[in-house]
Structure 1
Amino acid sequence: MLIRQAFLGCVAALASISAMPAIAKPVIDCPLRDMPFSTATPLIDILRSPAARSVVDKVVPGRIDTLPPFFTGTTPPSFSAILSLREAVGMLQIKPDKVAAIEAELRALPLTDAEKAARCARYDNDVPTFALPAGRPRLLLFEKINGFRDGPSVDAARKALLGMAKRMGWSMVVTDKGGAFNPGTLRTFDAVIWNNVSGDVLTLSQRKALQAYLARGGGFVGMHGTAGDPVYFWDWYADRLIGARFKGHPSNPQFQEARIAVNKAHPLASALPAEWRMTDEWYSFGTNPRAAGADVLLTLDESSYKLADGLRMGDHPLAWTNCIGKGRIFYSAIGHLPESYSQAQHVSLLESAIGWAANRNAPCRAKG
């Protein structure tokens, strides 16, 4: 009897082990793994490498330590993941000859296996399993953040979108795992929604999966901080998917009331008024999404709020749509303040945009 019980116990233990989720293998295809050190390296990777950090400290002793602590965290999410060393030395106003010396010495450094592994550690290949609620369309709300994470806005957006899904009869699940971006998982969803995602978050294979998903007709919705990083390490994402590169936002004051004008000829404009006013953090972009073929839905009236001359765009797009292959793309820069996710016009905008992006039969028009 004792032998039989021991045998059954072993069988049960083996069964429980086999039922456990597979342990994800270490990520080895992160985008910057083999990139030589340089001033274009993400600041986080400079700070985490004793050899690279010592180069900077040798050429400009103590200068890195004068950066605000907000910029120098080494555990994601961290602002240091969305700055390159080049931007950091620019903020510190380091002289060009010193920058050139840093560049030369960094490029001479060998890249160790430990440093490659450290670069890849902020990515993941964990494939989540979802229990999809009933309803259509099926939506993946994605929240992996390696850069700047504004918790209140992320949380408010999630709460609003889950409530919206329940109200509209949509099926929505949430993940912060980049491993969800694989062909099999993405095939399940009609659209992916990036909730204030910041920092480089997808491996090379995950990037390819997203690109293929959109080309085949999947939808993409990007919200506010999804296009708010000062530096991007994936040109296709910034220049093609979003179609504009963040330049900055007012800081004094950061949050202001402004007038939003609606392009009533846009297919998503039917539920929106011709204009409305609201308070938020207003992004400016160094490139205009119209140049990437975007069909602009909302523009910002720059005369209605205070901004520095360097942030003026003239034509100031705020929300737009675009097409990639058969895929439908929507981005809105609204959404820093948590209360913006209960603002009536913004809620109506998101309902229309998500419904359109997730409708594989919806027409998509690009300009230019």
Structure 2
Amino acid sequence: GAVSAAVAEPSEATMLDCPLRDAPWSVETPLMDVLLSPRASAIVNRHMGGVLEKLPPQFASAEAPSFSAILDLKALAGMAGLSPDVLAALDAELAKLELTDVERTARCKRYDDELPDLTLPAGTPRLLLFQKITGFLDEPSVAAATTTLYELADAHGWSLVETDRAGVMTPESLARFDAVIWNNTSGDVLTLSQRAAFRQYIEAGGGFVGIHGAGGDPVYFWDWYVDTLLGARFIGHSSDPQFQDAKIVVEQSSTRIAQDLAPGWTLHEEWYSFANSPRESGATVIATLDEGSYSLVGRGGQDLRMGDHPIVWTRCVGQGRSFYSAIGHRPQVYADERHRSLLKDGVLWAAGGACADTQ
């Protein structure tokens, strides 16, 4: 199914409880919210040398999906090479700006509370393919992953349905599923009540599968998602060149994920780096990258070396299971039998019920 780029209107006259609705203006405000406010934009332009007038098109749109949803002013200042003094002065002036209801409504417009009518086909496990995207929409990746997951579902008797509506995140709706697959999702997409429902679902024994972009935003506005559910913050991807061969090294683990793929394989892909190794916070690493096998140069010459470089891992979150794979940008990788096998194993593990760290 196609991913709808449309943003649903709130289903009631009341404003949605979107996470940053009432957040004071600051340098941590999403760029999209600044672009939606002429008053805030004027202040930013004054302090940052008219930066908003010079944004490339993919950053300049205030309509989701857009890069402006996954950057804040602090990140923008870093990209523009502005001094901390400029940032501090900007922050101080923004803080004096009183939020209006018009601005609150605009901030919440990219969220939705539309409960989709989903009919689950017969089969197990029961899987929800979730693909609401307000940040970077990479349609070829999303489509290739979707096709592959439906093919795996057909081949293995899974029950799989998809939606791009965050209104699916209610306790009753989530209870129907063994795992939720976030397919190349990007941008902050859940309201506060949806976040609470999803977190509760995971901690009570639900499963999470994150594919590639689901862990690849430069800025996150939900700490639990990135620090606990994923356990690693994206810092950049290979850019010199973007797509290159790298050696994936499969580790022995009691999860049994990808064990038949050991010792590993070489894949042509875009490669993520993270600020920290998820191993440090207790993740079970399924596969790492051999950093000697590719060029770890990011945008603007960024050094992407991690040393220990996990690329696929699992973790227990409460009673729930979290599986994340950073592989999945190039549509072609979904035709790779080893990658498909990895995804199959990861989905089945995530849907396996209550989690123990020995699993």
**Bin of the TM-score, shorter chain as denominator length:** over 0.9
Matches within 5 A, 1:1-368: 24-25=11-12, 26-267=14-255, 268-308=257-297, 310-360=303-353, 364-365=356-357
Per-residue CA distance 1:310-355 (angstroms, 9 max, x = gap): 2000000000000012111100000000011110111001111111
Letter in 1 for 2:325: S
Separation (CA, whole Å) in 2 of partners of 1:269 and 1:62: 50
CA contact (8 A) 1:27 1:121 kept: no
CA contact (8 A) 2:132 2:166 kept: yes
Residue 310 of structure 1 aligns to a residue whose secondary structure is: coil
**Offset of residue 61 of structure 1:** 3.7
Q: Which residue of 2 aligns with 1:17?
A: none
Per-residue CA distance 1:266-313 (angstroms, 9 max, x = gap): 421333231111111000000111122100000000000011372000
Which structure 1 residue ranges, 5 or more long, are not aligned? 1-22
CA contact (8 A) 2:250 2:264 kept: yes
Letter in 1 for 2:20: L
Separation (CA, whole Å) in 1 of partners of 2:26 and 2:212: 30
Larger Rg: 1
Letter in 2 for 1:48: L
**Offset of residue 96 of structure 1:** 2.9
CA contact (8 A) 1:191 1:219 kept: yes
> Structure 2 vs 1, CA of residues 60 and 263 (structure 1 numbering), >3 Å: closer, same or farther?
closer
CA contact (8 A) 1:29 1:203 kept: yes
Letter in 2 for 1:293: G
Q: Which residue of 1 aligns with 2:7?
A: none
Separation (CA, whole Å) in 1 of partners of 2:209 and 2:253: 20
Separation (CA, whole Å) in 1 of partners of 2:195 and 2:182: 14
> Structure 2 vs 1, CA of residues 38 and 159 (structure 1 numbering), >3 Å: closer, same or farther?
same
Residue 271 of structure 1 aligns to a residue whose secondary structure is: helix
Per-residue CA distance 1:168-198 (angstroms, 9 max, x = gap): 1000000000010100000000000000000
- Percent identical among aligned pairs is 54
Separation (CA, whole Å) in 1 of partners of 2:233 and 2:254: 23
Tell me the matched-pair count.
Answer: 345
Q: Which residue of 1 aligns with 2:5?
A: none
Normalising by structure 1, we get a TM-score of: 0.91
**Offset of residue 252 of structure 1:** 1.7
Separation (CA, whole Å) in 2 of partners of 1:293 and 1:206: 26
Separation (CA, whole Å) in 2 of partners of 1:37 and 1:238: 23
Per-residue CA distance 1:139-163 (angstroms, 9 max, x = gap): 0000000100110000000000011
Separation (CA, whole Å) in 2 of partners of 1:227 and 1:71: 19
Q: Which residue of 2 aligns with 1:18?
A: none
Residue 141 of structure 1 aligns to a residue whose secondary structure is: strand
CA contact (8 A) 1:195 1:222 kept: yes
- Higher mean Cα deviation, 118-127 or 86-95? 86-95
Separation (CA, whole Å) in 1 of partners of 2:356 and 2:175: 20
Letter in 1 for 2:286: L
Structure 1 segments of 4+ aligned residues over 4 angstroms from their partners = none
**Offset of residue 366 of structure 1:** 6.4
Separation (CA, whole Å) in 2 of partners of 1:96 and 1:356: 45
CA RMSD of aligned residues (A): 1.6
